[in-house]
Chain A
Amino acid sequence: MSILNKVIRSVVQVMPDQAPDELIASNRYLGRSINRLNGPDKVTGKATFTADYPVANLAHAALAYSTIAKGRITSIDTKAAEALPGVILVLTHENAPEMKVPKEFGDGSSNDAGTTQAKILNTDHVSWNGQPIALVVAETPEQAEAAAARIHATYEKEDCVTSFEAAIGDAKQPKAIMGEDPEVTRGDVEQALSQSAARIDLTFTTPPHNHNAIEPHACIAQWDGKDDLTLYDTSQFTAGVATTIAQVFGLKADHVRVVAPYVGGGFGGKGGAWPYIQLCALAARETGRPVRLAMTREGVFRIVGGRTPSQQRVAISADDAGKFLGFVHEGVTAQSTHNHFPEQFSFPPRHLYSMEAYRIGQKVTDLSRVANTFMRAPGESIGTFAVESGIDALAYELKMCPVALRMRNEPDADPVSGSPFSSRHMRKAYEMGVERFGWKSRPAEPRSQRDGDWWIGQGVATGTYPVYRMVTAARVRISADGTAVAQTSCQEMGMGTETVQTQHLAERLGLPMSKVRFEYGDSTLPYAGVAGGSSQTVSVALAVQEAGAKVLKELLALAQKDERSPLREANFEDVVAKDEGIFWRVSGGGESYAAILSRAGKDFVEADHKTGAPMELLKYSMHSYAAQFCEVRVHALSGEVRVQRWVGSFDTGRILNPKMAVSQFRGGIIMGIGMALTEETMFDDRTGRIMNPSLAEYHVPVQADIPDIEVVYTNEPDPHTPLGAHGIGEIGITGVAAAVANAVYHATGKRVTSLPITLDKLM
């Protein structure tokens, strides 16, 4: 931790808390299973996704990709491509106008959203296998794709490292991981490991994964003169894309407008401004036409990175009673030679368990591969696989119930920072899960349940994900017709953003949902950060709350000036927003927004507001928790694993919309089952090339792989978050792979330490 950070932390400790949000228990709309507002538009095809925008005179772009990992392009032949019908333009390093390399995505506090430090098209140097080497614009997408396939390059290869295994030895400790210390230690951990009743020491590996949202990345670029650019983009960070593309073309950030009302899944893969966006904009500028670049599935594999591979060691020792004495979690992830993202896998144990002595830290190594990036719960998903598998193994060493072992080490305060927890109901989550799953009837012995040819086993693991909040701006307007609008540039990738924010706005202003509207997905609206870190719901809610308060104050001021208003004597503290207006908190008298505005002769009142920095995160240890329970069957002869039962029990603050929340949890669990059993990007180590860039060979789970998933949750509001809520987009995947691995162990007596758990590992 930097000295500055330490100073801030100590100052924050003595700062008073914000009073809990007064809507923390309000439930006219909040806390209710309200259907997705844009559901009907989506299922009837009315929702306009990026590639659907009807733009006149549209031309189409396609990319050609390098086929070596590192080296120089010695020749590139575009004649055949140029000769094809419909081809308008072919750009390569030989003729592409200069673009600036944008700043890399930072820690989420800036709008920089660059994904690679490699030049795109402006160089004959190749940095990864799959780097764009040519951009083709044609009249139709088919013509563009056909022409791109006609482009042939020759290369002079250079030595490079594409194999993670080979690069592990060169791993280095980065200065910081997401602003946190790369390594934290306490006490003599080696001694604690050696002198104990039980101990385990295991090494885990996880493979790289790629993003496969149902909607492949796409962009439409339209210039208005030389200085104004509109981009329709599949983005989960409209403001970041605007800033980044402005950097690339030397424009003012507010001259780039990014529009993304509907995004067909993001999971982190659409958080950065991947190179296709700037290439689309370049194509549009150079042809003087609006251009669409809709990536193919293979194209997404080639240029959009995914989850890093990892190797993690977990060593834990405990006394007879199961108390953790020594705890080591350390290992290596990979980033690329042209980006920086050391995925934070070592975060979970820093906050999960009380430990006498520990060494928790991580290193990162560089590969000549496509840049890695965030993918649903980066860090926590792979970190919990290792840690929670290790704890399970220790439980067997101790002959203790794995749930009891975890509860034995439940800390009173954050084990590393010492900060109090803002809200932690891990025990309750476990109790609920144990009850719902019927955990108590599970036999303790592994390899003790058989059904025909199948071994049966039950496993459990803890999941965790931090609470983040980002500085966010919002505008709230209340109009004389009694309606209200809130606006921010945030995004909806299908999580239910629009719905839950509409619920919130209606509840906050005491209006019916039919009279409020939430506008988002446009970078020209007040600033919202990346829809990442499971932070958007609370970040936006706070901005809307505070902007809303400003509007209410203004309205009250209008009333105070008005002789006829029943509110003329009221102070802000005396009133509440309800029944479509402002009313005395105690006596109940008041009047509608419409009445105040029409008497004042105003059409509307509006206010913008930007939230302050998330100081609460420095004062409290703020996290969500999960207890994941599952039952698997493992075929005794073939080693096939089938998950047949799941209970996810979540402690994630107050649940704002149960139906959509449960859907998020389930989605996370499903993605986790894929991570556990099937998903793996196959990088050929000889070439750094992805060999399974299609959904036929890159195995995400299919329906038949997924059992009924039951979800329960504590619904305990966090007094230190807006609405008492936590973000819930990522917690669902955490702990899942470990729960599966632990159930597989319980079924078979085999501990699989490398993902995915394919059948050959269990035969």
Chain B
Amino acid sequence: MNSFSYARASESPDLAVALLNENQGRYLAGGTNLIDLMREEIETPAALVDISRLPLAQIEEREGGLRIGATVKNSHCAAHPLVRDRYPLLSSAILHGASAQLRNMATTGGNLMQRTRCYYFYDTASRCNKRTPGSGCDAAQGFHRIHAILGTSPHCIATHPSDMCVALTALDATVQVTGPDGERSIAFGDFHRLPGNTPHVETELRAGELITAVDLPASSANLPSIYRKVRDRASYAFALVSVGAALRVEDGRIADVRIALGGVAHKPWRASIAEQMLHGAEPTEANFRQAAEAELTPATPGHDNAFKVELAQRMIASVLQELAEVKA
């Protein structure tokens, strides 16, 4: 690990932003990802601004929806009665991630900003365009069983590993940020980026900007939903494929459907193609399967992760079918 300076901003987000911009560093929240990355020297910030004590740890009702502060612990968020009651998909997704110990440390903002688990990204002896732009991608011809199949580029096939973000994508969340140029909102679907030829640029967050909260709209509250995570062991493993879905059927037709996938892309993947096909359609197994297939048609798997295409299709269809049956 490199030496770095440390400052704590406890009073206000603006102070944190000011401190960071003076020092050119990184915000430190739960530290469960950043500290690991610093130990491995994947990230070598000269300064840390500790935001874990900012007054951003509340969950509040707002315009019929919820505002989840950036420093709310993942465990707190998952257990919160309002979240469990209105957005059970979020609660379930969080509880499928990491371990109880990690969730007790991890925060909303940190979860959004966590970095990929690509083996080559973590190994400074390997070539990685995300870590060292232009150096190449050792995963392409190496181990990529856990890698992306959708939205990949020749430059990077890494995934965003979060579970929580899959739910937030499906629930049409909005990310609230503040920074040197003031406050702004970013739609969740736009927050994370595809790799393109700049895999090192992972989000729309600009230099120095701080996430202050994530908002959940009233429109996605109280939907019947399921989070299904498929992984290599029963707990404490990242998703090979996960599906967060919600479904509302009215008069035998699909009135609202939201499908998001984890473990398949550089960002939490909103399955818009499938959603579009299903809107207004009958909730049948055949329709679900067809929509799932259409979503995965653009997939570009490699030799290790071809199974994810079929797996994602099956999981989308079966989760929707289960939701349809519960409704019926």
Contacts of A689 in B (CB 8 A): 123, 125-126
Q: A1-34: which residues lie under 8 A (CB-CB) from chain B? A: none
Q: A59-85: which residues lie under 8 A (CB-CB) from chain B? A: 67
B2–A146 contact, CB under 8 A? yes
A696–B123 contact, CB under 8 A? no
Give the docked Cα–Cα distance between A691 and B141 (Å): 13
Pull 22 A–B residue pairs with CB atoms less than 8 Å apart, ordered by A.
A67-B125, A142-B1, A145-B1, A149-B41, A677-B233, A684-B143, A686-B141, A686-B142, A689-B126, A691-B120, A691-B123, A691-B142, A696-B117, A697-B117, A699-B232, A699-B237, A704-B234, A704-B235, A758-B232, A759-B307, A760-B145, A763-B310
In the complex, A321 has a CB within 8 A of chain B: no
Contacts of B234 in A (CB 8 A): 642, 702, 704-705
Contacts of B119 in A (CB 8 A): 682, 691-692, 697
In the complex, A453 has a CB within 8 A of chain B: yes
B230–A759 contact, CB under 8 A? yes
In the complex, B6 has a CB within 8 A of chain A: no
Contacts of B248 in A (CB 8 A): none
Contacts of B138 in A (CB 8 A): 684
Q: Hey, which bits of chain B sit against chain A, CB under 8 A?
A: 1-3, 41, 117, 119-120, 123, 125-126, 138, 141-143, 145, 230, 232-237, 240, 307, 310-311, 314-315, 318
Contacts of A701 in B (CB 8 A): 233
Contacts of A44 in B (CB 8 A): none
Give the docked Cα–Cα distance between A759 and B312 (Å): 13
The 9 closest A-B pairs by CB, nearest first: A704-B234, A67-B125, A760-B307, A691-B119, A704-B235, A637-B314, A638-B230, A705-B234, A702-B236
Known pairs A146-B1, A677-B233, A687-B125; list 5 more (Cβ under 8 Å): A146-B2, A146-B3, A149-B1, A689-B125, A705-B234
B125–A759 contact, CB under 8 A? no
B233–A699 contact, CB under 8 A? yes
Q: Which residue of B lies closest to A643 (CB)?
A: B234
Give the docked Cα–Cα distance between A5 and B35 (Å): 58
A473 to chain B, nearest CB (A): 44
Interchain CB contact (< 8 A) of A640 among B120, B142, B230, B310 = B230
Q: Which residue of B lies closest to A298 (CB)?
A: B40
Contacts of A759 in B (CB 8 A): 230, 232, 240, 307, 311
When each residue 122-153 of chain A gets 1 if its CB lies under 8 Å from chain B and 0 otherwise, what string results?
A: 00000000000000000000100110010000
**Are A638 and B314 CB-contacts (below 8 A) given A691-B123, A758-B232?**
yes
B62 to chain A, nearest CB (A): 36
Contacts of B236 in A (CB 8 A): 702, 704
A631 to chain B, nearest CB (A): 15
A684–B142 contact, CB under 8 A? yes
A705–B314 contact, CB under 8 A? no
B30 to chain A, nearest CB (A): 16
B233–A704 contact, CB under 8 A? yes
Interchain CB contact (< 8 A) of A702 among B117, B233, B310 = B233
Q: Which residue of A lies closest to B228 (CB)?
A: A638
Give the docked Cα–Cα distance between A677 and B117 (Å): 21
Q: Which residue of A lies closest to B238 (CB)?
A: A696
When each residue 729-763 of chain A gets 1 if its CB lies under 8 Å from chain B and 0 otherwise, what string results?
A: 00000000000000000000000000000111001
When each residue 674-702 of chain A gets 1 if its CB lies under 8 Å from chain B and 0 otherwise, what string results?
A: 00011000101011010110001101011
Contacts of A640 in B (CB 8 A): 230
Contacts of A696 in B (CB 8 A): 117
Give the docked Cα–Cα distance between A689 and B123 (Å): 10
Give the docked Cα–Cα distance between A738 and B142 (Å): 29
**Are A678 and B314 CB-contacts (below 8 A) given A67-B125, A763-B307?**
no
B233–A705 contact, CB under 8 A? yes
B272 to chain A, nearest CB (A): 23
B90 to chain A, nearest CB (A): 22
Give the docked Cα–Cα distance between A678 and B232 (Å): 7
Interface majority SS (helix, strand, loop, mixed), chain B: loop
Give the docked Cα–Cα distance between A699 and B231 (Å): 11
Contacts of A702 in B (CB 8 A): 233-236
B143–A682 contact, CB under 8 A? yes
A678–B41 contact, CB under 8 A? no
Contacts of A697 in B (CB 8 A): 117, 119
Contacts of A686 in B (CB 8 A): 141-142
B15 to chain A, nearest CB (A): 29
Contacts of B230 in A (CB 8 A): 638, 640, 759
In the complex, A514 has a CB within 8 A of chain B: no
In the complex, A95 has a CB within 8 A of chain B: no
In the complex, A441 has a CB within 8 A of chain B: no
Give the docked Cα–Cα distance between A101 and B236 (Å): 42
In the complex, A703 has a CB within 8 A of chain B: yes
Contacts of B311 in A (CB 8 A): 638, 759-760, 763
Contacts of A704 in B (CB 8 A): 233-236
Contacts of A682 in B (CB 8 A): 119, 143
Give the docked Cα–Cα distance between A760 and B138 (Å): 22
Contacts of A758 in B (CB 8 A): 232
Contacts of A677 in B (CB 8 A): 233
Q: Which residue of A lies closest to B1 (CB)?
A: A146
Give the docked Cα–Cα distance between A699 and B233 (Å): 8
When each residue 701-714 of chain A gets 1 if its CB lies under 8 Å from chain B and 0 otherwise, what string results?
A: 11111000000000
A85 to chain B, nearest CB (A): 9
B244 to chain A, nearest CB (A): 16
Give the docked Cα–Cα distance between A3 and B145 (Å): 51
**Are A638 and B233 CB-contacts (below 8 A) given A684-B142, A686-B142, A691-B119?**
no
Give the docked Cα–Cα distance between A758 and B3 (Å): 41
Contacts of A699 in B (CB 8 A): 232-233, 237
Q: Which residue of B lies closest to A638 (CB)?
A: B230
A487 to chain B, nearest CB (A): 41
Q: Which residue of B lies closest to A674 (CB)?
A: B233
Among B2, B230, B234: residue with most chain A CB under 10 A: B234
Contacts of A684 in B (CB 8 A): 138, 142-143
Q: Which residue of B lies closest to A66 (CB)?
A: B125
Give the docked Cα–Cα distance between A637 and B314 (Å): 6
Give the docked Cα–Cα distance between A414 and B3 (Å): 64
Contacts of B315 in A (CB 8 A): 637-638
B167 to chain A, nearest CB (A): 19
Give the docked Cα–Cα distance between A67 and B138 (Å): 14
Give the docked Cα–Cα distance between A682 and B123 (Å): 13
Contacts of B1 in A (CB 8 A): 142, 145-146, 149
A637–B318 contact, CB under 8 A? yes
A368 to chain B, nearest CB (A): 16
B310–A678 contact, CB under 8 A? no
When each residue 215-251 of chain A gets 1 if its CB lies under 8 Å from chain B and 0 otherwise, what string results?
A: 0000000000000000000000000000000000000
Give the docked Cα–Cα distance between A691 and B41 (Å): 16
Among B119, B120, B314: residue with most chain A CB under 10 A: B119
Give the docked Cα–Cα distance between A758 and B304 (Å): 12
Give the docked Cα–Cα distance between A687 and B138 (Å): 11
A297 to chain B, nearest CB (A): 11
B106 to chain A, nearest CB (A): 14
When each residue 659-686 of chain A gets 1 if its CB lies under 8 Å from chain B and 0 otherwise, what string results?
A: 0000000000000000001100010101
B318–A691 contact, CB under 8 A? no
Give the docked Cα–Cα distance between A67 and B126 (Å): 9
Give the docked Cα–Cα distance between A689 and B120 (Å): 11
